[in-house]
A and B are shown apart, each in its own frame.
Chain A
Amino acid sequence: AQSVSQHNHHVILSEAASLELGCNYSYGGTVNLFWYVQYPGQHLQLLLKYFSGDPLVKGIKGFEAEFIKSKFSFNLRKPSVQWSDTAEYFCAVTPSGSARQLTFGSGTQLTVLP
């Protein structure tokens, strides 16, 4: 079975700082990778996803993530964070082409100070 590790539980940044959130997964085959975000008081929503092709994927609100297969990683980045990026971020993985069973990491709480 697959698993996901998010090593940063809580990250605090000032506005305009750069962001990188770590995500590593464990699975022996081909995977689809996702980052979901949960803003305060809102439901989970998709930030970006990778399933094939260019390993650098761009999502909403200026976020991007890079799939590095050799490192089993899918780190999330943003060059300059804003106060409105304060949220909880979840990395998730599912095996490609199989019955859907999305496995989530434990999440990273990002707090951006104004």
Chain B
Amino acid sequence: GAGVSQTPSNKVTEKGKYVELRCDPISGHTALYWYRQSLGQGPEFLIYFQGTGAADDSGLPNDRFFAVRPEGSVSTLKIQRTERGDSAVYLCASSPTGVSNEKLFFGSGTQLSVL
């Protein structure tokens, strides 16, 4: 596609439920990133994929959060036993190769609301 696509755009769930958020990066981009943006804050790094592997998952807040990218393209962020504090906009971004001076192409995000 022309840009990074994220689905759903909005997700409302109840505390304790499991959610999956999907990211479809720009075709051919090997690097994929997940960020979380809480109200009034800048995006916070969660995880970085280079191809199929998670090259840096140091930003995942705890073991309820997990992400996969099995074929090196689409990625899914999975959150188990959701908590109200997980409510935020989850942003996905991709870049061609992942070198540190490359710009990131962001999606529009998934607004997650945990009731």
Which residues from chain A sit less than 8 Å from chain B, CB to CB? 4, 6, 32, 34, 36, 42-46, 49, 51, 90, 92, 94-107
Task: Kindly list chain A residues whose C-beta atoms are within 8 Å of the C-beta of B31.
Answer: 100
Q: Is the CB of B40 within 8 A of A100?
A: no
Interface segment out of the listed B10-18, B63-71, B98-106: B98-106
Helix, strand, loop or mixed for chain B's interface?
loop
Summed over the interface, the residue pairs from A and B with CB atoms below 8 Å come to a total of 68
Do B104 and A102 touch (CB < 8 A)? yes
A99 & B101 in contact (Cβ 8 Å cutoff): no
How many residues of chain B have a CB within 8 Å of chain A?
30
Contact partner, A94, options B35, B40, B43, B100, Cβ 8 Å: B100
A100 engages B48 (CB within 8 Å): yes
* Contacts A96-B100, A100-B98; A44 near B58 (Cβ below 8 A): no
Residues of B within 8 A of A104 (CB): 35, 42-44
Interface of B toward A, CB cutoff 8 Å: 3-4, 31, 33, 35, 40-45, 48, 55-56, 58-59, 91, 93, 95, 98-104, 106-109
Please name all residues of chain B whose beta carbon is closer than 8 Å to the beta carbon of A100 when the two chains form the complex: 31, 33, 48, 55-56, 95, 98-100, 102
Are B43 and A98 within 8 A (Cβ)?
A: no
Instruction: Provide the residues of chain A in CB contact with B109, threshold 8 Å.
Output: 43
Bound state CA distance, A95 and B99, in angstroms?
11
Whether A44 lies near B106 (C-beta < 8 A) is yes
Q: A98-B100, A101-B48 are in contact. Are A44 and B43 (CB under 8 A)?
A: yes
Q: List 18 A-B contacts (CB under 8 A).
A: A4-B42, A6-B42, A36-B106, A42-B108, A43-B4, A43-B107, A43-B108, A44-B91, A51-B101, A96-B101, A98-B100, A99-B55, A100-B56, A100-B99, A100-B102, A101-B45, A104-B44, A106-B41
